[in-house]
Each structure stands twice: as structure tokens, then as C-alpha cells.
Chain A
Amino acid sequence: MLRAGAVALVLILAGHAGHAQTVAERGAYLFRAGGCFSCHTDVAHDGAALAGGRALATPFGTFYAPNITPDRETGIGAWSAADFRRALREGLSPSGAHYYPAFPYPSYTLMSDEDVAALWAYLTTLPAVRHANRPHDLTLPFRVRAAVGLWKFLFFRAGPFQPESGDSDEVSRGAYLVRALAHCGECHTPRNLLGGPDDDRFLAGTRDGPDGRSVPNITPHADTGIGGWSEGDIVQLLNSGLKPNFDNVQGSMAESVRHGLAYLSDDDLIAIARYLKAIPPIDNRIRRGP
């Protein structure tokens, strides 16, 4: 009790002293917003944080997220800040190889230079874990890494994010969080046969999501999307994983909430909700009818 009081006092004093957030602290927040933890950690097998290994089953094969701890041999400890920036902005490894877009750089490319630098600053503070990467297990033709170059030519557009003119600061912030960091579209936007996102159906959901599961339509369409949800409903889902009927979300969205979105500030979650209410509603029924 006394101790809790002392801690609270220290926090208050720190607040009064105008404690400036360090770059790494900002990066820690962006790390949560970016959902890095849940793919790069094999939670199901008690894997070390960010040491890789989580399997992501897709229609194109199974991907195993790599080790992103600062281990020099098996992680990204030998990388420079420029290497990291190139990975996020261009989807290229330090040796110039194309990354598969299972690594959501088509979204992360939209991050601001400042945010990329802050995220890098944070990652360098983490403990290094020695854990070798597991190779992806892919179907042809996706096994041919050079094919990713063609994929990028067709579908990848490098960032950073540009706000839409006419959007309020709040909606722009929501757009940035949804499109760049939280990379919602990577699962919620349907893909064509080549795995390219169908931008005309942005966030309209798909029956062929990761791990063979369907992913709901989160556009504000009244019947098939979340048009009936209030801003409070969206915020509640993102910070607690509870749907408007207080049932919980499951699968990869539950992971995204638990390890990422639940850490975001109310202001940011409200910004996301306002943005999701502002995007075009798309009629695309994913759930089976009643």
C-alpha cells in the first residue's frame, strides 16, 4: 500500500517534471501498435520474445517469422538503422533479397521516417536471443523468391503515408495507425490469386484469411460490415477483445489485441474507430447467414 503510494507519487512527480518520452519509449509504443510481437514470437510453444518461429499458414504456404532480437548471428544485431529502414520501407533484406509480403512491409512502408527510427531504437534495447530461423514452407510458384520481385512490381507501392486532404487530424491519425502500423488490411482486405490486395475492397474481409480462417468485413457497411457498431464498440474490441455482445474475438485477432492493440492509448483507439467509420462501406458478406 505504502509502496504503491510511493510509486504513484513518483509517477505524478515525473509527470509534473514534464518527463520527456525517450525515442526508445516512443518506439516501444509503436512496437505495440505495429503488432510485431505476435508474429515474431512463438507464443504457442513458449518461445522467447521476438526470437521468431510463429507459423503463419496462408494459401501460399506456411511462413515462419524470423528472429528480430539483437542477436548478431540469428537475429538483427548486425543490422544498421539504414538496413532496418530499408526492410520496412522497401521490403529488402540487408543483402538486397526480397522479403515475402507475409512480412507486412506493404503496410510498414507507410510509416514515417521518425517512427521507423524510434522503432529501431526500441528494438536495439531488447535482450538478444540466439535462435536460428526456420525456413518458410511454400508452394510453387511462391517458393521462388525472385517471383516476389514481380509481385512487388505489380502490387507494392513504397511509402511513406500521405494524409488525404480534407481528413481531420484525428481521422488521419486513425488512417495512419490502421494502414501503416496496425496493418489491418493485410488480413482484412481480400487478395487476388497472386496474393495482391484488392484495394477496391479495402478492409471488406475475406473467407481465405491466414490460418485458413475467414476474416470479417470491417468497413462501415450496415449489413455485412460493422456499420452498426458504435465508436465505443470498436474501441472496446480493440482494447479488450470483446465484441459488442461481449463475446470474445479469437484466433489471430485475439493475439493482435492481447499483444498489441490493447496497449494503445484511448485517443489512438478512438482515432482508429473514427477512421473505420469514415472509409467507404463495402457490401461483402463473410459470415454465414442466420
Chain B
Amino acid sequence: MRIAAIGVLSGLALSASTLVTAAMADVDSIKLRRAVMGSIATHMGALGPVAKGEVAMHDEVPWHAGSIARLSAHVVSLFPEGTGEGDTDAKPEIWKDWAKFEEAAANFEKAASALADAGGKKDQAALGAAMGEVGKTCGACHDLFRKPQQ
């Protein structure tokens, strides 16, 4: 059930992300962004219990880790200029300091790629370490560029 929901979500996110280049109304950009970020969070949540050693390594792990890596490549494209207003937690600093934002997104992409490697090997200890590293890059970017959530 949960896996199916994740599949639908990430499928939606991926197919929608190909449309980003086409001109879209801001509201759609924001919805898409939320969907992709939500998908990443859901995949991370699915890996969490394995990373913490609460659930044994299983066959879906490489798929979740790989999905995060693939989604990470889309992050920068999800923030076209002029999408900082409305139902979004994106801070205006993203567009004021675009180079820094791109750097933060690149750090995430790199960490996500390492996560995909660790997940692909189905190595629990490596997965735990890689998850921690990905978490740091999420936090580093969110601290600077996302309005506080608790």
C-alpha cells in the first residue's frame, strides 16, 4: 500500500518534472515542487528504518535510494524565477543567491548519488552513513532557503 503510494507519487513527480521546461503557471511549479520534495521525503522515510537497523535490508532499498538520486537531479529546475510567492516555503534568498543555492543542490545530488551506491550494494552500515550525509545536505539547504518548519 505504502509502496504503491510512493510509486504513484514519484511517478507523478517524474513525469511532471519533464514539463518544467515548458512555460507553466507559478502555481503549477509550486505544486510540482511540493510533489517532488514530498517524494524525496517519502523515499527517505522508507529507507530510514533500514538505515537505523530497525528493519532488515530488503529488495526495495536499491530502488528507493536510486529514486532519490534521480529526483535529486531535478531540484534546481524546480525553482524557476518568480515562483517564490503563494503556497510555498521557498525563501526569496534562493533567487538572490542563486549560485549558493545551486551549490547546495549540487551537494545534495552528490550525497544522493553516494546513497544510491550504498543502497545498490544493500550494505546496511554504508546506507546508514550515506543517509546521514544526505540528511546533512537536506538540512544545509533548508536552513538557508526554506522557511522554518518544525
Check A246 against B49 for contact (C-beta < 8 Å). Answer: no
| A230, A242, A254 pick with most chain B CB within 10 angstroms | A242
Complex partner residue of A253 from B41, B45, B150, CB under 8 angstroms: B150
Asked if B116 is at the interface (CB within 8 A of a chain A CB), the reply is no
Check A245 against B150 for contact (C-beta < 8 Å). Answer: no
Check A250 against B54 for contact (C-beta < 8 Å). Answer: no
Kindly supply a per-residue 1/0 record for chain B positions 22-52, scoring 1 wherever the CB is within 8 Å of any chain A CB and 0 otherwise: 0000000000000000100110110011011
Check A216 against B131 for contact (C-beta < 8 Å). Answer: no
Q: Would you give the shortest CB distance from A246 to chain B, in whole angstroms?
A: 4
Asked if A241 is at the interface (CB within 8 A of a chain B CB), the reply is yes
Check B44 against A213 for contact (C-beta < 8 Å). Answer: no
Asked if A232 is at the interface (CB within 8 A of a chain B CB), the reply is yes
Complex partner residue of B135 from A215, A216, A233, A247, CB under 8 angstroms: A247
Q: Would you give the shortest CB distance from A119 to chain B, in whole angstroms?
A: 27
The residues in A between 118 and 177 inclusive whose CB is less than 8 angstroms from any CB of B are none
Check A247 against B150 for contact (C-beta < 8 Å). Answer: no
Give the interface residue-count category, chain A.
Answer: 20 to 34
Check A250 against B49 for contact (C-beta < 8 Å). Answer: no
Given A230-B54, A232-B52, A233-B48, A246:B150 Cβ within 8 A: no
The residues in B between 127 and 150 inclusive whose CB is less than 8 angstroms from any CB of A are 131-132, 134-135, 138-139, 142-143, 146, 148-150
The residues in A between 205 and 226 inclusive whose CB is less than 8 angstroms from any CB of B are 209, 213-216
Q: Give me the interface of A with B, judged by CB distance under 8 Å.
A: 209, 213-216, 230, 232-233, 236, 240-242, 244-254, 290
The residues in B between 41 and 87 inclusive whose CB is less than 8 angstroms from any CB of A are 41-42, 44-45, 48-49, 51-54
Which A residue sits closest to B51, measured CB to CB? A246
Check A248 against B48 for contact (C-beta < 8 Å). Answer: no
Instruction: Give the tally of cross-chain contacts (CB within 8 A).
Output: 62
Check A245 against B52 for contact (C-beta < 8 Å). Answer: no
A230-B52 Cα distance, complex, nearest whole Å = 10
Residues on the A chain within 8 Å of B44, using CB: 245-247
Check A248 against B150 for contact (C-beta < 8 Å). Answer: no
A213-B49 Cα distance, complex, nearest whole Å = 29
Give the interface residue-count category, chain B.
Answer: 20 to 34
Main secondary structure of the interface of B (DSSP, over half): helix
A214-B89 Cα distance, complex, nearest whole Å = 14
Given A214-B150, A290-B38, A250:B48 Cβ within 8 A: no
A236-B135 Cα distance, complex, nearest whole Å = 12
Check A236 against B52 for contact (C-beta < 8 Å). Answer: yes
Check B134 against A248 for contact (C-beta < 8 Å). Answer: no
Residues on the A chain within 8 Å of B52, using CB: 230, 232-233, 236
Check B48 against A245 for contact (C-beta < 8 Å). Answer: yes
Residues on the B chain within 8 Å of A215, using CB: 150
Residues on the B chain within 8 Å of A246, using CB: 44, 48, 51, 131-132, 134-135, 138
Q: Would you give the shortest CB distance from B4 to chain A, in whole angstroms?
A: 16
A79-B145 Cα distance, complex, nearest whole Å = 44
Residues on the B chain within 8 Å of A254, using CB: 143
